[in-house]
Amino acid sequence: MMNTEDLAGLLETLCPMFLLVDDTGHIKQAGPTLQKLRPNAPLVGQSFLDVFELIRPRTVTTVPALMSMAGAKLNLKFHDEPRTALKGLVAPLPNGGGAVINLSFGISILDAVRDYALTSADFSGTDLAIELLYLVEAKSAAMEASRSLNLRLQGAMLAAEEQAYTDTLTGLKNRRAMDYMLAHLVSTNSAFALMHLDLDFFKSVNDRLGHAAGDYVLQQAAHIMVEETRSDDTVARVGGDEFVIIFKGMTREETLTAIADRLIARLNEPMTFQRQSCRISASIGTALSIHFDVPNAAGILHAADLALYQAKRDGRSCHCLYSTLSSAQP
C-alpha cells in the first residue's frame, strides 16, 4: 500500500481539486486548484465540515456520516463567501485511514473562473472545463447573432403587415386599401359611388354561436359581395362587420339600388355553420361622387354613413341613397 505522500502526489496530477482527510475529518492534503479558491486560509488542518456545508444530502453533519457516503454524489458549498457551489465524491481509504474527497465545479464553473481568476493550468488535462467554457462563449456569440437576425426579421415582418392591403380573414381589401383607392379616385376626379354596408344581427351570431361561426358568416358575406360586384370594384372590410364597396365610374342610382337590393336579399338568406342556422341581414347607405361639387374622401364617406344611419332607422334590411336625405347637398 502506498503512503500518504505518494498518494497526494498522484492525486495532485490527476485531480487538482482533491482533499485528503483523516478519520476525524481533518484535511491533511489539499489539491492546488482547491487551495487557490481560499488563498488566505490554508485548508490543511481545518475540519472538512467547518469549511464546507453539505447542501445535499443535508442529513450529513458528522464525520462518520460523511465517511458512509462512499460513491454517492454530494452537493456542497463553502461556509464563507464567495459561497461557490461544488460537487463532491467521497472515496474512503482502507482500514479507517480517512478518505479522498474529490471536488469539482459543475455548473458554477462560469462564475468560478471569473471569481478566482482560474487558468487552463488549474484544470487537469482530461477535464472538460476548458471545452465547456469554449462552448458557452461560442454558443452565446452564435445565439446573439441569431437573436439580432430575429429582431431584424421581426421588424421587417411588422413593416410588411403594415403595408399589406388585404384583410386576412375574408381576403377582401382592408381599410388601408380602401383609403388608398378612395384618395386615388378623388385626386383623379373620377366619378364613383361608395356603398357603406353594415351587417345586422352579426353580434348576436357571434355571441350565440361563437367566434368560429362569426368568422364563417363574415367570409360568406364577403363572398356574396364579391359575386354581386364587378371585378374592378373595390370591396373592403373596414371594421368588424362593416364593409365599403367602391364602384368606379358608377353614376346611375337605379343600378346601385338594384345591386343593394340584391345584396340585402342574398345576405338575408340563412347560412348554415356546423348544422346551426345563422341569420343576418344588412343595411346599406350609398353616396355618389357626382352629387358633390368638390368631392373629397372624408365628405363622401360621411355622406354614405348618414345614408346608412337612415337605412337603419328605416328598419333593418334597407338601402338608402344619400341624395334622398333632406340634409343632402343640392
Partner 1 sequence: MHGLINRAIQSFVCATYGQSCWLRVTEAAGLGFVEFEAMLVYDNDMSTRILHALSADLNRPQAEILEDVGTYLVSHPNTEGLRRLLRFGGVTYVEFLHSLDDLADRVRLAVSDLTLPTLELRELSSTEYQLCCFPGLPGYSSVMVGVLRAMADDYGALVMLSHDGQQGNAEVISVTLVESAFAAGRHFDLGARSG
Smallest distance from partner 1 to CB 115, Å:
8
Q: Which residue lies nearer to partner 1 by CB, 14 or 145?
A: 145
Q: How far is the CB of 102 from partner 1 (least distance, A)?
A: 21
CA–CA distance, 119 with 303 (Å, rounded to integer): 79
Residue among 248, 215, 242, 216 at smallest CA distance from 229: 248
Q: How far is the CB of 84 from partner 1 (least distance, A)?
A: 13
Residues 6+ apart with CB under 8 A from 167: 173, 174, 236, 237
For position 130 contacting partner 1 by CB under 8 A, the verdict is: yes
| Residue selected from 82, 134, 204, 230 as contacting partner 1 according to rule CB under 8 A | 134
CB atoms within 10 A of CB 281: 17
CB 305 → partner 1: shortest distance, Å? 46
Contact 133, 139 (CB under 8 A): no
Q: Are 275 and 209 in contact (CB under 8 A)?
A: no
Instruction: Answer yes or no whether residue 149 interacts with partner 1 by CB under 8 A.
Output: yes
Residue 138 found at the interface with partner 1 (CB under 8 A): yes
Q: Does 156 bind partner 1 (CB under 8 A)?
A: no
Parallel, antiparallel or unpaired: strands 85-92 and 192-200? unpaired
CA distance 266 to 191: 27
Binding status of residue 159 toward partner 1 by CB under 8 A: no
Show Cβ contacts of residue 171 under 8 Å, excluding neighbours closer than 6 positions: 222
Given the complex with partner 1, which of 39 and 315 has the nearer CB atom? Answer: 39
Q: Is 72 in the site for partner 1 (CB under 8 A)?
A: no
Binding segment toward partner 1, per CB under 8 A, in 141-149, 196-204, 286-294, 306-314: 141-149
Q: Which is nearer to partner 1, 34 or 271 (CB)?
A: 34
- Take residue 38 and report the three cell numbers written for it: 481560499
Question: Which residues in the 89-118 window bind partner 1 by CB under 8 A?
Answer: 110, 112-115, 117-118
Least distance (Å) between residue 151 CB and partner 1: 12
With CA atoms as reference, report the closest residue to 181 among 226, 230, 249, 234.
234
Active-site choice (127, 200, 233, 241): 241
CA distance 8 to 198: 89
Q: How far apart are CA 221 and CA 284, in angstroms?
A: 13
Q: Is 215 a catalytic residue?
A: no
Q: Report which DSSP code applies to 122.
A: G
Please identify, among the stretches 89-97, 135-143, 257-265, 269-277, the one whose residues bind partner 1 according to the rule CB under 8 A. Answer: 135-143
Helices (H), 38-128: 48-51, 63-67, 109-115
- Quick check: 85 binds partner 1 (CB under 8 A)? no
Note whether 154 binds partner 1 by CB under 8 A. Answer: no
Binding interface with partner 1 (CB under 8 A): 110, 112-115, 117-121, 130-131, 133-142, 145-146, 149, 152
**Residues with catalytic function:** 241
